[in-house]
């Protein structure tokens, strides 16, 4: 009779891969996601080192060079590679600094919304029924308002500024985390490993944060990636409506709002900020899709 050791020796050595490397393999297989990751890395790099990369101060005005086109068009020069805006400020420098604001918005909104949302979701999942109902009703109420409208009114109350826009967006995005977390907590709570932790004497905080939370992380991570891009989009929209970052801040949405009246005369002041938003948001969404496919075993190819 074949003993255990000879069984293992006979097997062809294609071992089942580990969890992290398996995740990376699925992620890497998705070429779009990897491309998104690279673009996002560049975006983060530009955001962090904007001061060093940008050729000019983003608010410096070169009055002799107002509305100069990009270098490849007649009248353009390498001095201002992407041209200048109506006040003679260098577009490239402003776009580079704009990355910093968008990145900042994304990070702050995701951290605030996710922290608040996950804690509330955990609470709702573990709380007695009345508290659960209360929290979920509250979230239903917030979700009944279109996000941008609610953010707009909140900013109108708090006063238009980038910080207030971030607070408003974080508040508006929070219910999604609450719902998601609660749903996975309720799903996990009935499982045997939670019961055994309870039997072993784990307290409620430990049960919530150490036992259950790590097992609910996959959808939360995906949601974080998706709300990063939503935050950037909404902040830009608020800036565009004049309720976000205020001029002369080189925030992409605000830049677009300033450039609106020149759309038919100087295409570059309109095209580049929007393109910057689109590319950034697209990269993050690509990444988010890759994350979801790699983390969600249900959608994996069998």
Residues that bind other proteins (CB under 8 A): 1-2, 6-7, 10-12, 14-17, 25-26, 29, 32, 137-138, 140-150, 152-154, 156-157, 159, 229, 233, 236-237, 240-243, 253, 256, 260, 263-264, 267, 270-271, 273-275, 277-278, 281-282, 285-286, 289, 299-302
Provide, rounded to whole angstroms, the least separation between the CB of residue 100 and other proteins: 18
Comparing CB distances to other proteins, the nearer of 50 and 277 is: 277
In order of 4, 168, 174, 255, the CA distances from 137 in angstroms are 57, 19, 14, 38
Comparing CB distances to other proteins, the nearer of 47 and 212 is: 47
Comparing CB distances to other proteins, the nearer of 64 and 302 is: 302
| Contact yes or no for 65/78 (Cβ under 8 A) | no
| 3-state class (DSSP) for residue 90 | strand
DSSP one-letter code for 214: G
Comparing CB distances to other proteins, the nearer of 8 and 204 is: 8
Rounded Cα gap, residues 173 and 167, in angstroms: 10
Provide, rounded to whole angstroms, the least separation between the CB of residue 266 and other proteins: 10
Comparing CB distances to other proteins, the nearer of 44 and 148 is: 148
Burial 81-91 (b: 16+ CB within 10 A, else e): ebbbbeebbbb
Provide, rounded to whole angstroms, the least separation between the CB of residue 155 and other proteins: 9
Provide, rounded to whole angstroms, the least separation between the CB of residue 271 and other proteins: 7
Provide, rounded to whole angstroms, the least separation between the CB of residue 96 and other proteins: 18
Comparing CB distances to other proteins, the nearer of 71 and 145 is: 145
DSSP one-letter code for 166: H
| Contact yes or no for 60/248 (Cβ under 8 A) | no
Rounded Cα gap, residues 192 and 167, in angstroms: 39
Nearest to 235 by CA among 291, 191, 273: 273
Provide, rounded to whole angstroms, the least separation between the CB of residue 108 and other proteins: 19
The owner of tokens 């007649």 is 74
Q: Is the dihedral of CA 199, 204, 209, 215 positive or negative?
A: positive
């Amino acid at each position: 009779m074949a003993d255990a050791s000879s069984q293992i020796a006979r097997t062809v050595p294609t071992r089942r891969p580990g969890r992290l490397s398996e995740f990376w393999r699925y992620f890497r297989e998705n070429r779009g996601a990897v491309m998104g990751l690279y673009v996002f890395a560049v975006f983060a790099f530009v955001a962090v080192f904007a001061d060093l990369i940008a050729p000019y101060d983003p608010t410096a005005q070169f009055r002799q060079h107002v509305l100069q086109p990009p270098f490849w068009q007649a009248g353009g020069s390498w001095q201002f590679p992407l041209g200048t805006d109506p006040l003679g400020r260098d577009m490239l420098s402003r776009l580079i600094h704009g990355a910093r604001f968008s990145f900042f918005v994304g990070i702050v909104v995701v951290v605030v919304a996710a922290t608040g949302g996950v804690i509330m979701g955990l609470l709702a999942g573990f709380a007695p029924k009345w508290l659960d109902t209360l929290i979920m009703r509250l979230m239903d109420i917030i979700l009944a308002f279109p996000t941008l409208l609610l953010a707009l009114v909140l900013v109108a109350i708090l006063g238009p500024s980038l910080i207030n826009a971030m607070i408003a967006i974080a508040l508006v995005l929070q219910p999604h985390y609450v719902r998601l977390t609660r749903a996975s907590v309720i799903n996990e709570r009935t499982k045997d490993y939670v019961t055994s932790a309870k039997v072993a004497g784990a307290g409620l905080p430990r049960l919530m944060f150490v036992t259950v939370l790590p097992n609910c992380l996959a959808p939360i991570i995906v949601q974080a990636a998706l709300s990063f891009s939503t935050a950037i989009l909404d902040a830009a929209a608020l800036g565009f409506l004049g309720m976000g970052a205020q001029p002369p801040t080189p925030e992409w949405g605000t830049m677009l709002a300033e450039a609106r009246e020149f759309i038919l005369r100087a295409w570059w002041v309109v095209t580049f900020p929007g393109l910057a938003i689109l590319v950034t948001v697209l990269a993050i969404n690509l990444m988010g899709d890759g994350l979801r496919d790699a983390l969600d075993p249900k959608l994996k190819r069998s």
